[in-house]
A and B are shown apart, each in its own frame.
Chain A
């Protein structure tokens, strides 16, 4: 479904703040793969995600989704195939607009907007049904502005919006990191439910090793702009946090030094 071939990205090249973020990363995702991505700060996880989403162009390499080369496509064009949930709960929804308006926009992802009325009455029932699946009571607050919702509610809504039109690829960029533990667990549960039920091809960054192990069918660990570890299937199922750390030390030749990763 997703084929990344040898992509690299350097920020601020040839300046004092030069940062090589990706060094020739290749990654193939089969349809229905749910891949979790871990790695310390600056490992290149978010850069990988943003490269796929098209926030910027990669320096070298190729990105192909479902046989279509999207390497040179701008961000908005890629949205036709890609659903996204951001780390910042504020980023995935329009705060000043109603829940219904946000959902209506998401229901047209990848389609050229027309002069038809945006919040059509015949669509309202569909939107309400979809919101019901979140179990947050949002179906009774269609006209509330999204800005009134909590971070967790907004993240759940963003997740629903990102999958409303079935994406060929779902990108989750540490989408539970900004939430309190209980809400984070709820949003993660919802993520598993949606992704597993609909067999969505998914790439999920997380800071939490346990989540990375418990979710999905494949795990990759990044380090200094490269994919260091790539485990899937049975091997991943039997993996513990301790095994993972040992694997990292063997592969990187150094100790895991990211506090955030260890403490979580």
Chain B
């Protein structure tokens, strides 16, 4: 039982990253690997700022801003320089590894001795775990509402149309280079912001903490879509947030059942591989079903 609060909290903090992955993977239709670098970038930036004496909110805004820059770099690589999006993301991700080391000055920064967003505004009767849950919920709700509003605006609609049909949106006068760059900017800002939150919750920032970010993001997106639907954009956003929480719950359960933590990434990768190949199996099953129907 005492696992529930930390599980939901982690799910909430990571769900911002999952929304970022949703924006690139589903809205823009790009598999953006920048997230593997922008997640620790957010953590590193926030940690370095906090240790330099910044208060948590400016430190997190700085992290989000750094994430934006990383998204813009990938965006320029894949639009203006015509590098395939997958490779553009990998290039930025690799570059960010060095950048993150520069920001932190070493591979790992501890935040245990300083005030974070969770400790600074602590409510007297609440435990540290409850504070993480509370702050996480507030931030996720704010971000969700903001995303819903933004993607409903004229600019947001142009970004959604870019991922759906670039020919159509260009024929309607929108520069798709700009919408792609803007989409990547927003996505990576959210991912870095998520990294900043996770670092503060866990008490450290580590240069290796981004490994597997994309897979965790995809797992959250797909679990959410399967379990909670994709009827509308609002529905999708809520699904992704809940998907991130369910993913954490699944991880907590398999760890409880005795799976060695070292196998976590393998487990997640297999989970995502199965989920991504589902449409193929569904189509095959459907075909077989139709075939039988005709025979009958």
Contacts and interface: CB of A to CB of B under 8 A. Distances in A.
Interface of A: 53, 74-77, 79-80, 83-84, 86, 90-97, 101-102, 104-106, 108-111, 113-119, 161-162
B160 to A, nearest CB: 6
Q: Which of B154, B173, B174 has the most CB of A within 10 A?
A: B173
B50 interface: no
Question: Which of the four size classes fits the interface of chain B?
Answer: 20 to 34
Nearest to B161: A94
Interface string B180-214: 00000000000000000000000000000000000
B165 A106 contact: no
A97 B172 contact: no
Given A95-B165, A115-B154, 9 more contacts: A76-B175, A79-B172, A86-B167, A97-B164, A109-B171, A109-B172, A109-B173, A111-B173, A115-B153
Contacts of B173: 76-77, 79-80, 108-111
B6 interface: no
10 contacts: A79-B170, A93-B168, A94-B164, A94-B168, A97-B160, A109-B172, A115-B155, A116-B154, A118-B157, A162-B171
A117 B153 contact: yes
A162 B173 CA distance: 11
Contacts of B174: 76, 79, 113
B101 interface: no
Given A75-B170, A113-B174, A114-B153, A105 B158 contact: yes
Given A74-B175, A76-B176, A94-B161, A116 B153 contact: yes
A205 to B, nearest CB: 16
B108 to A, nearest CB: 40
A105 B155 contact: no
Given A94-B165, A119-B152, A104 B171 contact: no
A105 B171 contact: no
Contacts of B160: 94, 96-97
Contacts of B176: 76
Contacts of A92: 167-168, 171
B169 interface: yes
Contacts of A115: 150, 153-155
Contact of A101 (B157, B167, B175): B157
B229 interface: no
A220 B153 CA distance: 43
B154 A91 contact: no
Contact of A84 (B156, B158, B171): B171
A25 to B, nearest CB: 22
A91 B170 CA distance: 11
B228 to A, nearest CB: 18
Contacts of B167: 86, 91-92
Nearest to B172: A109
A94 B158 CA distance: 10
